[in-house]
Amino acid sequence: MGLFELLQKIVELFERIQIPYLITGAVAAMAYGEPRLTNDIDIVAAIEESHIGDLLKAFPANEFYVDEETMREAILQHGQFNIIHPGFFVKMNVFRPDKSRFQYFYRV
């Protein structure tokens, strides 16, 4: 699984379970025509605890490294967690925004 296949997988999942998100970092820069060497994807996403089950199903432990406890901590602390495909050395950094800073993501 390459970088763009992983990106497609997470975008399709977020769309299906209605998680607001934005792609940032080098992958976003490449979309605007600025080539960069990178092997990771940076995503800001309004993930809630209710989404954890869907994420773990979409990225099974036999294929991906995703730590459930780190994911829960990122949600509570407005931090980040990683989804890593070790066989292809592709990593996704998922950042959970603070509601006060990213009101766009959250319905009022």
Assigned CATH for 3-97: 3.30.460.40
Residue 83's Cβ-count burial label (10 Å; 0-12, 13-18, 19+) is buried
Q: Is the pLDDT of residue 105 over 70?
A: no
Mean of per-residue pLDDT scores for the chain: 85
Q: What is the pLDDT of residue 3?
A: 76
- pLDDT band, residue 78 (cuts 50/70/90): very high
Q: What is the pLDDT of residue 108?
A: 40
The domain locations on the chain are 3-97
Chain segment 11-33, per-residue pLDDT in tens = 999 999 998 888 888 777 776 67
